[in-house]
Structure 1
Amino acid sequence: MSTGNLKENETDSVRQLLIPKNYEAELTEKPEANGDGASAGKVAAIEPINKSNSRKKLEELKDQLQIALELEHSTIPPYLCALYSIKQGSNLMATEIIKSVVLEEMLHMIMVANLLNAIGGNPQIGEKEVDKKNKFIPAYPTTLPGNVDPTLVVGLEPFSKHSIKTFWKIEHPVGNFQLPQNMDTGDVVYKSIGEFYKALVYNLTELELLAQADGDTIFKGKKEKQVTSQHYYGSGGKLFTVENLEDALNVIEEIVGQGEGTLGSIFSDPFQEGNENYLIFGTDVEDFAHYFRFKEVYYGHFYSTTDSAHRKSRNKGLPTGEKFDVDWDAVYNMKPNIKMKDVEKGTPLHDKMYDFNKTYSALLDNINDACNGKPEVLQEGIVLMYQLKYKAVELMNIPIGEGYMAGPSFEYIKG
């Protein structure tokens, strides 16, 4: 079996994590209070967490975890559009790779919800549960929620080199950064998803240590609201429940590890020939981080066991292993970012788009119910997931002129 191949129904595979051994110490270290804390954009005034503002900061933390939910979800519709647009029988490995990433992103959503529930929050999944100013489903094309790399625009597009390159940019690690202490993501711009989560870890840790100093804890949520592995119907790694700070750090480590696989050393540390820290594509690793998986699809090669992840290595961080087929033309040419408002009401096409969105909304509502005290209903989402695929492919077989086909718009329909 070639390096990087996925096993069917893998539920707890060995993970490719480039996170250093001192991960928790590094993440909880107090950030520098200077203008280097974020990339381009305004950096808010730093307000240290203390006893006088800890209650307010806990509420801000809940808001930030809600944004994390929206951030994780925002990647799923683009990934699904690329996946559904691949014609049946073609691009088999690319299909498996993208599918595995989608399952892990859904897993991330549920683990973030577990974390939010653990500190007494209430996850809001689906536009039905939030006000008009804070829609859960973004209007594509969009920037990522939480001010994560606002230079990156993500849309609903078919499988292509452009879409795959956008996906690896979503998962891109960033090195050599300092984080602001402030929790208000409305004022702080984060260079990457990993940087966003690093700020979360710092704030979680500071608030919990402050509570523990008084013999208390911030982890007071109802345990029955936790979604466990027995409830989750997908594969894609280990599902963590959260009862304490250690569990919370494990959740974030898993999310960052599955996405970026690294905190950025492959882009910031000088390369040293023979440094085994970057020889991470071993035969015992069945599932690489998303960033590297998308690069495999883009270049049509698996990573070899001798490949280095470092961009300044001989292979420049690119996969040079066994080749697999990628046919960029075996795709339904879905019109990017199509909306229901673009289609005349009462037409068969509008009805089919409405039907797809109704199903997707039902899936979000199902996940919302599961993450708000009814974890057992999550199993019901399996049928909805299968329906989504068939409804999307049906849309992508409808020509709409100018060489384009229709496609899903991922808009919320209230039940």
Structure 2
Amino acid sequence: MKAVEYTQSNRIVELMRRPAEQRDAEWVKDAVQQAVLLELATLPPYLCGMWSIDTTGGGDTQVFRALRTIVFDEMSHLGLACNLLTTVGGSPRLADEALVPAYPGPLPGGVRPELTVFLSGLTKDSVAMYASIEEPDDPIVRAVPAYTSIGAFYSAILDALRASSHLITGGRQVIKDMSHHGSGNSLVALTTLGAVETAVAIIKEQGEGTSVSPQNPHPNEAASGELAHYYAFLEVLHGRKLIHPPGHPDVWDFQGPPVPMPPALPMGIVPQGGWPRTGPGAPAADVTVLLDKCNRVYSDMLRLLEQVWQQDDPAQAADLLDDAVVKMFGLKSPARELMKRTLPDGSGKTYGPEFRFVTP
């Protein structure tokens, strides 16, 4: 398979159409690689939204805290998906221009084909897009029409492994205690079918909730009643907390306390191919330096992450993972600087990071 097929085709749709009896070892590895790319695809838009929030005024911070929790969850999901790929004999591919999700664009593999994922500051439109990414097939309350969900794809992977549990080898597992971010956020070794089942449940339920509750069954330890990502985003859209209305213990509705949209830096939507570097709309030299720095740091992080799951030495893998996390947090400062630089088109919007993969 050519690498370009992963992000620019309907690969997941094609995999889901394969009859269950034909979902062999190669199918599983192919599918889990797609799951890795799906997890990666969520991080840049969520980070842009989080970094754009102005927290200096001392106002309500609940939306910022919700986004920060979700970002840490997604980082854990990416690591668990990589552990899932190595335990079935694969190796995550993250440092390839043909594979890395591009913005604006679709989710990898044809999931939610109606959805265009874009990078911008926090707005109602961006939050609606976040909710569409996380929407389960059968939500308790719905925002948009349903299509095949990320959770349904994970369920298909799990079904294939239940039918062929011998594919789980426990190879190249990365372990990292991240319980301070939540009860399900640590990277654990996926050496048994039971461990795989638990990991898939965490990924699905933190994003989508369960069939009976919108609450996250694996919350941050400091949280009370933390919602799954999909419902947390809907609270921002509705501007109200999702609660049981008085006298209706079996019903959930947006009738709780206000959830105000926080003030945010007005980052515009990154155009196809990134911000123009030449012509009448070309940025100032210092903006170009910041754009290039963000892309370079992001690409270095992806190269480090790819190397993490190529190591036979667990200690070396852990060190590389720490280096990758440092790179990710190093993106915040130049990204926020870009969000303070006004676009030359008179829109009042600002620049922001492009999250484009570049070669060294």
Identity, in percent, stands at 28
**Counterpart of 1:248 in structure 2: which amino acid?**
V
Number of equivalences: 321
- What residue in structure 1 maps to residue 33 of structure 2? 66
Unaligned runs of 5+ in 2: 1-12, 140-145, 312-316
TM-score by length of 1: 0.70
Deviations 1:207-253 (A, max 9, x none): 22xxxxxxxx212242xx211134x5972433232001111111111
**Counterpart of 2:50 in structure 1: which amino acid?**
L
Larger Rg: 1
1:413/1:151 CA distance change after superposition, 3 Å: same
1:204 aligned residue (161, 167, 176): 161
Higher relative contact order (CA 8 A, sep 6+): 1
1:48: Cα distance to partner? 4.7
1:365-376 aligned within 5 A: 365-373=303-311, 374-376=317-319
Task: Report if aligned partners of 2:297, 2:331 keep a CA contact under 8 Å in 1.
Answer: yes
Q: Which structure is higher in helix share?
A: 2
Report whether the alignment pairs 1:166 with 2:135: no
- What residue in structure 2 maps to residue 325 of structure 1? 260
- What residue in structure 1 maps to residue 148 of structure 2? 191
- What residue in structure 2 maps to residue 335 of structure 1? 268
- What residue in structure 2 maps to residue 140 of structure 1? 103
1:320/1:61 CA distance change after superposition, 3 Å: same
Task: Report if aligned partners of 1:121, 1:221 keep a CA contact under 8 Å in 2.
Answer: no
In 2: Cα distance, 1:43 partner to 1:67 partner? 10
2:168 aligned residue (196, 219, 222): 219
Unaligned runs of 5+ in 1: 1-40, 177-188, 209-216, 266-276
Task: Report if aligned partners of 1:144, 1:153 keep a CA contact under 8 Å in 2.
Answer: yes
1:140: Cα distance to partner? 1.1
Report whether the alignment pairs 1:297 with 2:232: no
Task: Report if aligned partners of 1:343, 1:349 keep a CA contact under 8 Å in 2.
Answer: no
In 2: Cα distance, 1:325 partner to 1:62 partner? 43
2:185 aligned residue (218, 238, 246): 238
Aligned partner of residue 126 in structure 1, secondary structure: coil
Task: Report if aligned partners of 1:141, 1:156 keep a CA contact under 8 Å in 2.
Answer: yes
1:246-285 aligned within 5 A: 246-262=194-210, 265=211, 277-278=212-213, 285=224
**Counterpart of 1:350 in structure 2: which amino acid?**
T
Task: Report if aligned partners of 2:118, 2:269 keep a CA contact under 8 Å in 1.
Answer: yes
- What residue in structure 2 maps to residue 388 of structure 1? 331
Aligned partner of residue 343 in structure 2, secondary structure: strand
Task: Report if aligned partners of 1:110, 1:371 keep a CA contact under 8 Å in 2.
Answer: no
TM-score by length of 2: 0.80
1:100: Cα distance to partner? 0.9
1:198: Cα distance to partner? 1.4
Task: Report if aligned partners of 1:148, 1:192 keep a CA contact under 8 Å in 2.
Answer: yes
- What residue in structure 2 maps to residue 411 of structure 1? 356
In 2: Cα distance, 1:360 partner to 1:65 partner? 22
Task: Report if aligned partners of 1:302, 1:319 keep a CA contact under 8 Å in 2.
Answer: yes
> What root-mean-square deviation, in Å, do the aligned CA atoms of Structure 1 and Structure 2 show?
3.0
- What residue in structure 2 maps to residue 149 of structure 1? 112
Task: Report if aligned partners of 2:214, 2:228 keep a CA contact under 8 Å in 1.
Answer: no
